[in-house]
Structure 1
Amino acid sequence: MRYVVSGLVGMLAATMFSACASAASGHVVLYSANDDTVNKMVANGFKQATGITVDVISTGSGVLFRRIASEKGNPQGDVVWGVSASLLKQNSKYFQAYAAKGADQVPAQYRDPGNLWLGTNIQVAVIGQNTKAIPAGQGPKTWNDLMDPKWKGKLAFTDPANSGFSYATASALLGVWGDNDAAWAKLRKLIANTKVLSRSTLVYDGIGSGEYPLGITLEYAGYLWARNGAPVSVIYPADGTVALAEGAAIIKGDPNSVNARALVDYLASKPTQEMLLKATFRRPARQDVALTDAKGMPPLSQIKLLPYDDQKWEAARARTLRKLKDVIQETR
């Protein structure tokens, strides 16, 4: 996927806050679960704004946190970004507190009360549909619809072990279906229809290219593909969905702490979140950023949202992931 962001990075650099300029040397290592285009946009903008080079390590969020855990005695990364709030909460022992500039513009439910992590955007789980492969109006409308045998092998899903948002989607459905044997039977039926992929970007790209007519995905990817001319539509399931924060944190004991703080300030800033909304349809966590640059994206108030008990599902993560792994293996 390629899109034009000409002028945005330069505008952001010109309006960037002076605090970043005080750290205008060296580099910072960013562990990111975002796609390469977004990573390059942020790295280039930050470099122009501050003179600091961003070295990006990009992979799935589950892989990133396994790496952070393995490096805890000798951290190699400075900032982790583009991962779900549930994973940030679960791994907060690896972070050092920092009160980013502008954090007060982010609602309390999307940031850590002790400043260990900060939400930078909000991700909404949706069903993506390639309308060339499945004509508009003939696709699923609800999560229950995805259990229809006619979708078997046509539906892509990211392995919950590698994606915080896939885990959140699966656990939210379990919760709303009763978190019992019957709920697991329904989820098993849905997962049996899926192609389970290792990274979220493989799902996004597969829907856009038509390799997978359907996918359990995030809203921004569908809008981005559609704007670039791909026959992709975004379906907000009528039976409800989840909206969860995705954010950033500074890794405890990181080797470039001053530059890390500057990078988090940059990611949290209004100009950066406006840039990412306009260029990539990332829904901003800041409440002072309007959705006018994302035509067609509804406000959260117009989306039916499912309740999500993240404390419960964080505590049950290891057990739930084991069961999900068994379900995936048994349904291949």
Structure 2
Amino acid sequence: MTAFDRRELLKGAGVVALAAAAGTPALAQSGGRVVVGTWGGDYARLLTKNIEDPILKAKGIEVIQDQAGDAPRRAKMVAEKRLPRGTVDIQGFSAANMFEMSEAGVTEALDYSKLPNAKNLLPSMKYPYGIGQIYSGNVVIYNPKLISPAPTGFKDWLDPKWGSKIGFIDIQYQSIFIAASLAATGGKDMNDLDKAKEVLMAVKKAGGRVYPTNEAFAQAMKNEEVGISAIWKARVVQWQNAGIPCEAVSPVEGIPIYVSGFVIAKNAPNKENAYAYMDAMLAKPPQEAFAVDMGYNGTVSGLTVDPALQKRIGFTPEEEKRLRDLDYAFLAKNDSAMKEWWDKVFKA
């Protein structure tokens, strides 16, 4: 348990204690019900639009969303580990967080025979403890008006010559470490934290700016306060659709992949409905809809996506060879140290 601190664990424990004191009203009931842990905002809305309303509710399954950031939801899963029945059935996390929860011993070992749609799941998105629902890659984002010539990779993004035009997104600190390591090693190593820190400190001294959220950074890009950073390609597509002046470049050093997926809690009170929810998200209609609505690539084969859209959200055959999965064990082990340095040194 490394990617969230003791305060988050205590918050999760508090939720458990409150539920117990009140006669466990937070517990999902057996029968036609499933409680889904997820981020809020557009993602939660699209789960309802593309999965819950057309598929689950049509089967008579009542869906309840437990919306929160991933850190408190992870903390709650760990705090509820001692309970025979938890409060949430299925949780949405990044691939790194899914791995961490598996290591914490709070996820169900998936029975893929209960997931008929998993027959089309890409092998790289099939984990013993969870499934990938959507994916994208970390690319360089830039404003051609402010940044010229066009960057080719992470090293160009993290060139101190851009000064205050370089932007960072606070919540993306793990991805920033990975990009900085790739920049420093010419694409050879994603995990060289010492060299990554050297690169990042040089950019800090040059005036690089840190923004608290994706949305705050998007506003800064729109106002031309910053001109270059790195973000998931899906976000670039969303921001282009919103009229923000930006282009994407797949980094020559390699394209770290981002996977968003789901795990089932080991003590899920409605486990069969959790499997039904997981299977529904792998059906063709919602997979295709998320490509349109969010700009993410689907994780099952045989999808029909408009070629023009696929060109914007996907990767060429040559770029696909540069897609790189993350070292989830390394991230789980080093996350606390990375976050501490980021907060106390880089942002200080």
Aligned to 2:75: 66
How many residues matched? Answer: 301
Shift of the 140–117 alpha-carbon distance from structure 1 to 2, 3 Å rule, reads: same
Which sections of structure 2, spanning at least 5 residues, go unmatched? 1-30
1:172–1:307 Cα contact (<8 Å) kept: no
TM-score after normalising by structure 1: 0.75
1:267–1:273 Cα contact (<8 Å) kept: yes
Q: Is 1:56 the equivalent of 2:65?
A: yes
Counterpart of 1:305, as a letter, is: R
Compute the RMSD of aligned alpha carbons: 3.4
Shift of the 316–50 alpha-carbon distance from structure 1 to 2, 3 Å rule, reads: closer
SS in structure 2 at match of 1:296: helix
Give matches, 1:84-95, under 5 Å: 84-92=94-102, 93-95=105-107
User: For the residues of structure 2 that align with 1:246 and 1:50, how far apart are their CA atoms?
Assistant: 20
Q: Is 1:77 the equivalent of 2:88?
A: yes
2:182–2:253 Cα contact (<8 Å) kept: no
Q: Is 1:317 the equivalent of 2:329?
A: no
User: For the residues of structure 2 that align with 1:258 and 1:209, how far apart are their CA atoms?
Assistant: 48
Shift of the 42–238 alpha-carbon distance from structure 1 to 2, 3 Å rule, reads: same
User: For the residues of structure 1 that align with 2:70 and 2:215, how far apart are their CA atoms?
Assistant: 12
Mean alpha-carbon deviation: is it higher for 271-280 or for 195-204? 195-204
Tell me the CA shift for residue 319 of structure 1. Answer: 3.0
Alignment equivalent of 1:301, drawn from 317, 320, 324? 317
SS in structure 2 at match of 1:229: coil
Give matches, 1:101-140, under 5 Å: 101-112=116-127, 114=128, 116-131=129-144, 134-135=145-146, 137-138=148-149, 140=151
Tell me the CA shift for residue 197 of structure 1. Answer: 4.5
TM-score after normalising by structure 2: 0.72
Shift of the 136–327 alpha-carbon distance from structure 1 to 2, 3 Å rule, reads: closer
Tell me the CA shift for residue 209 of structure 1. Answer: 6.0
Give matches, 1:136-215, under 5 Å: 137-138=148-149, 140-159=151-170, 169=179, 176=187, 178=189, 179=192, 181-190=194-203, 194-204=208-218, 206-207=220-221, 210=224, 212-215=226-229
Alignment equivalent of 1:31, drawn from 31, 37, 41? 37
Shift of the 196–230 alpha-carbon distance from structure 1 to 2, 3 Å rule, reads: closer
Rg comparison, structure with higher value: 2
Shift of the 226–72 alpha-carbon distance from structure 1 to 2, 3 Å rule, reads: same
1:191–1:328 Cα contact (<8 Å) kept: no
Counterpart of 1:47, as a letter, is: D
1:122–1:285 Cα contact (<8 Å) kept: yes
Shift of the 174–140 alpha-carbon distance from structure 1 to 2, 3 Å rule, reads: closer
Aligned to 2:262: 248
Shift of the 184–215 alpha-carbon distance from structure 1 to 2, 3 Å rule, reads: closer
Shift of the 194–136 alpha-carbon distance from structure 1 to 2, 3 Å rule, reads: closer
Tell me the CA shift for residue 225 of structure 1. Answer: 2.0
- Can you list the C-alpha shifts for 1:62-114, whole angstroms capped at 9, x where unaligned? 44323322333343222222x322221221122112422322322322211x3
- Can you list the C-alpha shifts for 1:268-298, whole angstroms capped at 9, x where unaligned? 1121111111222111111222443525334
Tell me the CA shift for residue 122 of structure 1. Answer: 1.7
1:204–1:221 Cα contact (<8 Å) kept: no
Shift of the 102–238 alpha-carbon distance from structure 1 to 2, 3 Å rule, reads: same
User: For the residues of structure 1 that align with 2:217 and 2:68, how far apart are their CA atoms?
Assistant: 14
2:181–2:193 Cα contact (<8 Å) kept: no
Q: Is 1:41 the equivalent of 2:46?
A: yes
Alignment equivalent of 1:287, drawn from 275, 295, 301? 301
1:85–1:110 Cα contact (<8 Å) kept: no
Counterpart of 2:261, as a letter, is: G
User: For the residues of structure 2 that align with 1:316 and 1:229, how far apart are their CA atoms?
Assistant: 34
Which sections of structure 1, spanning at least 5 residues, go unmatched? 1-24
Fraction of identical pairs, as percent: 18
- Can you list the C-alpha shifts for 1:184-227, whole angstroms capped at 9, x where unaligned? 42244356654444544544565456554333211011112213
SS in structure 2 at match of 1:287: coil
Give matches, 1:201-240, under 5 Å: 201-204=215-218, 206-207=220-221, 210=224, 212-240=226-254
Of Structure 1 and Structure 2, which has the larger fraction of its residues in helix?
2
Mean alpha-carbon deviation: is it higher for 244-253 or for 175-184? 175-184
Q: Which of structure 1's runs of 4+ aligned residues deviate more than 6 A?
A: none
Aligned to 2:14: none
2:107–2:265 Cα contact (<8 Å) kept: yes
